[in-house]
Structure 1
């Protein structure tokens, strides 16, 4: 039996992973549950682990595997998935463990900066196998290799491959591929502030960039993450 807060946290993590492909940060968990400090989140995560609903993975900061869901969250038939906190754990090929699902080949269109923007690359250099369940819409998808560490607190590390759904729109809080002034590409969290666009890093070492909306073009939204070793 879970308490109301434990159930809320498990539900929030599960929904965000389903929506974004990466889990919320501890700060986002704290805000969603209206707690005063992150220590409360740590206690809830410990309680969920003790009850067998999640498993924390060793040597990875806040990396969590959802073992099961209660029936109230649609637990019947649930397949375990590895989700990421600050630094996600993964299988040797995939950052999400999805059993008995078909894989699709996506082109890797070069490297995307999670740090200082680099020149945009639009030619496929190779392809990567992606679980079909990661592609949640009929829109075209593509993959990019991450360079830099500005999104580490969102569970995205240097060398990861991100799966992107093509779109030219974004909601506040989405992690997007942004094309800046037509030639620089970067992976950041999107915030609209009137006629300005804020591109937020998930690493306190990097400042938020605020640009006029006519200088920023949304090229896609993050839907998944692949990690190889």
Structure 2
């Protein structure tokens, strides 16, 4: 059964179409009206999430500043270093596996590279992050990072289990909540000392439209 299009996907498609037809970006109120969203603040929340996962760029100090990543057609290369679970964690041979072996180089929109370094890509396995618009077989572009902010989508290495998973991260006193973005899946809780972060998601490349 085809996956139902969610609000964020509808917003992204409207922005693409509006920019193609008009040559500039829609306003927040135009997005709200087209997508049937009553509150502009809800639209702004979805735009912030789309920016966080690398689907759009925007300038908070300018109106109609939303751009869609990949529109320019200019590309750069990053290494594809393996698979990450978006579901139950999976094991990898070592915590350093991704930094030493690349399957191949892949093209990514050049906008993703701006102001960033040490980028790499992983192929997603599983559906725990579908509400963050990260589906099975998609490729996530990661920026290497040892420290993560609340709400970041990150590659999380579980020391005791010797496993890795892709989840949204929240810090709760002496533990870490690894939150799936799928209403049918439960969060995982780990002692903070058991979790190491290997990178945060900066973009998603959709493999199965």
Any gaps of 5 or more consecutive residues in structure 2? Answer: 1-26, 33-37
Match of residue 201, structure 1, among 177, 180, 186: 180
- Native 8 Å contact 2:53 2:204 kept in 1: no
C-alpha deviations, 1:57-94, integer Å up to 9, x for none? xxxxxxxxx9xx9xx84326x54x2xxxxxxxxxxxxx
1:127-184: CA deviations, max 9, x gaps?
2101111124333110000001111111111000000011111111111000111731
Structure 1 stretches of 5 or more lacking a match?
Answer: 24-65, 82-95
Q: CA deviation at 1:124?
A: 1.0
Aligned to 2:156: 178
Alpha carbon RMSD of aligned pairs, Å?
A: 2.9
**Structure 2 residue 131 is matched with structure 1 residue 160:** no
Q: 1:153 to 1:12 in 2, by over 3 A?
A: closer
The aligned residue for residue 99 of structure 1 is 72
Which of 128, 142, 153 is 1:150 aligned to? 128
| Distance in structure 2 (CA, Å) of the matches to 1:205 and 1:14 | 24
1:190 maps to which residue?
A: 169
CA contact (8 A) 2:70 2:110 kept: no
Structure-2 residue corresponding to 1:226:
205
Find out whether 1:217 has 2:196 as its counterpart: yes
> Distance between the aligned counterparts of 1:134 and 1:193, measured in 2?
30
Matched with 1:75 is 64
Shift, 1:6, TM fit: 4.8
**How many residue pairs are counted as aligned between the two chains?**
167
Change (3 A) 1:205 1:12: closer
Map of 1:122-161 to 2, 5 A cutoff? Answer: 122=98, 123-161=101-139
* 2: CA distance, partners of 1:22 / 1:194: 32
Shift in alpha-carbon separation, 1:22–1:210, aligned structure 2, 3 A: farther
TM-score, structure 1 length as denominator? 0.64
Quote the Cα distance in structure 2 between the aligned partners of 1:199 and 1:158: 18
1:35-59, Cα deviation, whole Å (9 max, x unpaired): xxxxxxxxxxxxxxxxxxxxxxxxx
